[in-house]
């Protein structure tokens, strides 16, 4: 069910829907979101290690266009999961107009209740892929 909701949410925002599965996140798990401009989309450390060699590479792996106000975001903020939760998740593959994809994404709609910032900010211009 959560996979269908994720597909509808993504498609309802004029995006092509990715293939969504579901994963469990546990208290203490870390997820990452572009900063500034927090959204419902998060990624994992593996994606950062594999693609965060530059801002362009990172956002193209997640198939995210440049932010209307901020351009390609230069920072990623780390968040800690507070409660056990199942969330939609999957590889970014179906929005190739924004990049080659391959990054992993989580959709965490209730992020304000489920996550808290650790205060750790990774700079995409300065080797974020080496910081996780």
pLDDT at 2 over 70: no
Sheet holding 85-91, edge to edge: 21-25, 85-91, 104-107, 41-42
- Residue whose structure tokens are 């579901």: 22
pLDDT (tens digit, 9 = 90+) per residue, 36-81?
Answer: 888 899 999 999 999 999 999 999 999 988 877 778 889 999 999 9
What six digits make up the tokens of 68?
Answer: 């209307």
Enumerate residues 6+ apart whose C-beta is below 8 A from 110. 85
Q: What pLDDT shows up at residue 34?
A: 93
Residue 27, domain extent: 2-130
Q: What pLDDT shows up at residue 7?
A: 61
Confidence category of residue 98, pLDDT binned at 50, 70, 90: confident
Confidence category of residue 19, pLDDT binned at 50, 70, 90: low
CA of residue 32 relative to chain centroid, distance: 6
For the chain, give the DSSP string: -HHHHHHHHHHTTTSPPP--EEEEE-TT-EEEEEESS--SEEB-HHHHHHHTTSHHHHHHHTT-PPBTTTBS--EEEEEEE-S-EEEEEEE--S-GGG-----EEEE-TTHHHHEEEEEEEEETTTTGGG--
End-to-end Cα, the chain, rounded Å:
32
At residue 123, φ and ψ (nearest 5 deg) are -95, 115
Confidence category of residue 95, pLDDT binned at 50, 70, 90: confident
Q: How many domains does the chain have?
A: 1
What's this model's pTM, rounded to 2 decimal places? 0.88
Q: What pLDDT shows up at residue 3?
A: 62
Compare 100 and 113 and report the one with higher pLDDT: 113
Confidence category of residue 127, pLDDT binned at 50, 70, 90: confident
Q: What pLDDT shows up at residue 31?
A: 98
């Amino acid at each position: 069910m959560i996979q269908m909701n994720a597909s509808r949410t993504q498609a309802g925002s004029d995006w092509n829907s990715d293939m969504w599965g579901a994963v469990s996140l546990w208290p203490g798990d870390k997820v990452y979101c572009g900063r500034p401009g927090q959204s419902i989309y998060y990624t994992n450390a593996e994606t950062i290690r594999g693609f965060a060699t530059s801002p362009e590479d990172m956002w193209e792996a997640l198939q995210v266009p440049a932010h209307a106000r901020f351009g390609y975001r230069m920072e990623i903020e780390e968040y800690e999961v507070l409660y056990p939760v199942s969330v939609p998740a999957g590889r970014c593959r179906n929005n190739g107009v924004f990049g080659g994809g391959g990054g992993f994404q989580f959709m965490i709609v209730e992020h304000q209740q489920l996550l808290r910032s650790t205060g750790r900010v990774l700079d995409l211009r300065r080797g974020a892929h080496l910081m996780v």
